[in-house]
C-alpha cells in the first residue's frame, strides 16, 4: 500500500485532517526510533511497533484536546 493509504474502515470526521494525522504518524515513529518503510506499507512491521505509534498518537491527540478545552496553547 502506498503512503497515506489505509485499509481502515474508520472515517475521519474532518477529512482535511488526514495530512496532519499522517505527518503526526511519521513524527511519532521518528521519536520512537521506528523506521517506516519508504513505500509506506506497514504490513510487514511488528504489531508492537505499529501499536506503539498508534498509542502515542492517541495520547498526543488527547493532550491537544485537553489543552484546547482548558484554553491553553498547544506545546510539545
pTM over 0.85: no
- Domain ranges in the chain? 15-70
Q: What is the dihedral of CA 59, 62, 68, 73, to 10 degrees?
A: 0
Count of Cβ atoms closer than 10 Å to residue 9 Cβ: 5
Q: What is the structure's pLDDT at 1? A: 44
Q: What is the structure's pLDDT at 72? A: 63
pLDDT mean values, one per 10 residues, the chain (76 residues)? 59 86 88 86 88 91 90 62
Amino acid at each position: 500500500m502506498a503512503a497515506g493509504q489505509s485499509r481502515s474502515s474508520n472515517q475521519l470526521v474532518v477529512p482535511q485532517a488526514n495530512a496532519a494525522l499522517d505527518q503526526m504518524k511519521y513524527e511519532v515513529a521518528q521519536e520512537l526510533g521506528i523506521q517506516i518503510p519508504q513505500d509506506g506499507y506497514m504490513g510487514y512491521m511488528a504489531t508492537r511497533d505499529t501499536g506503539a505509534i498508534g498509542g502515542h498518537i492517541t495520547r498526543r491527540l488527547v493532550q491537544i484536546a485537553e489543552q484546547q478545552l482548558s484554553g491553553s496553547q498547544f506545546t510539545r
